[in-house]
Structure 1
Amino acid sequence: MIEEALQGEWQFCTVEMVKKNGEWYVHFVLKKEVELPDEPETIIAIDRGEKNLAVAVAVSKNNPDKPMKGQLWRGEEIKRIRGNYGHIRRNLQRKKLLKKVKELRGKERCIVNQQLHMIANQIVEYAKQFPRPVIVMENLTGIRDSFTKSKKLNMRFHSLPFRRLQTYIEYKANLERIEVRYLSKKEVRNTSKQCHRCGHVARKVDGRIYRCSKCGMEYDRDLNACINIARRVMSSAGWGSCEPPEPADEGVSVKPTLNAGSHRLKAVVVHG
Structure 2
Amino acid sequence: MLVVEFKAKGKTTQYKAVDEAIRTAQFVRNKSICFWMDNRGVGQKDLYRLSKQLREQFPFVKALNSSACQAAIERAYSSIARFYDNCKKSIRGKKGYPKFKKNCRSVEYKTSGWKLSTTRKQITFTDKKSIGKLKLKGTWDLNFYQLEQIKRVRLIRRADGYYVQFLISVQAKVEMPPTGKTIGLDVGIKDFYTDSNGHSEPNPRFYRTGSKRLKLYQRRVSRKQKGSANRKCAINHLGRLHLKISRQREEHAKRLARCVIQSHDLVAYEDLRIKNLVKNHCLAQSINDVGWYQFRKWLEYFGVKFGRLTIAVNPAYTSQTCSDCGAVVKKSLSTRTHVCECGFVVDRDWNAAINILKAALGTTGHVGTWILDPNASGDSTSTHAGEILCEQVGSMNEESLQV
How do 1:41-56 and structure 2 match up within 5 A?
Answer: 42-56=181-195
- Structure 1 residue runs of 5 or longer lacking an equivalent are 58-68, 241-263, 268-272
Q: Does 1:144 pair with 2:282?
A: no
The Cα of 1:108 is off from its aligned counterpart by 2.0
Q: CA 1:125 to 1:159, structure 2 compared with 1: closer, same or farther past 3 Å?
A: closer
The 3-state SS of whatever aligns with 2:343 is coil
CA-CA distance at 1:93 after TM superposition: 5.6
Aligned to 2:398: 266
- 1:163 is aligned to 293
Q: Are 2:196 and 1:196 equivalent residues in the alignment?
A: no
User: Which structure has the larger Rg?
Assistant: 2
- CA shift at 1:71, angstroms? 2.9
Q: CA deviation at 1:207?
A: 4.1
Which stretch of structure 1 is more off in the superposition, 113-122 or 215-224?
Answer: 113-122
Q: Are residue 26 (structure 1) and residue 199 (structure 2) matched?
A: no
Match of 1:224 among 335, 346, 351: 351
Cα–Cα, structure 1 residues 213 and 220, in superposed 2: closer, same or farther, change >3 Å? closer
Aligned-partner SS, 1:216: coil
Query: 1:37-69 CA deviation, whole Å, 9 max, x = no partner?
Result: 9x9954332221121223333xxxxxxxxxxx4
Q: State how far apart, in whole Å, the 1-side matches of 2:239 and 2:343 are.
A: 47
Gaps of 5+ in 2: 1-139, 368-395
Shift of 1:102: 6.1
From 238, 241, 246, give the equivalent of 1:112: 246
Root mean square deviation of aligned Cα: 3.8
Secondary structure of 2:346's counterpart equals strand
Q: Once the two structures are superposed, what CA deviation does each residue of 1:79-100 show, in whole Å capped at 9, x if it has no partner?
A: 4345335424542464367744
Q: Which amino acid aligns with 1:140?
A: L
Question: Larger RCO: Structure 1 or Structure 2 (Cα < 8 Å, ≥ 6 residues apart)?
Answer: 1
Q: 1:105 to 1:221 in 2, by over 3 A?
A: farther
Percent of aligned positions that are identical? 18
Question: Normalized against structure 1, the TM-score is what?
Answer: 0.64
For residue 339 of structure 2, the aligned residue among 204, 212, 229 is 212
User: Residues of 1 paired with 2:332 and 2:276: CA distance?
Assistant: 22
1:27 is matched by which residue type in structure 2?
Answer: Q
Deviations 1:161-219 (A, max 9, x none): 21122223322343222233323xxx220111122122221121454632323122222
Query: When you count helix as a share of all residues, which structure comes out higher?
Result: 2
Count of paired positions: 224
Q: Residue 36 and residue 6 in structure 1: after superposition, are their counterparts in 2 closer, same or farther (change >3 A)?
A: closer
Equivalent of residue 14 in structure 1, options 148, 152, 173: 152
Deviations, residues 205-253 of structure 1 (Å, cap 9, x unaligned): 454632323122222222221111111111122349xxxxxxxxxxxxx
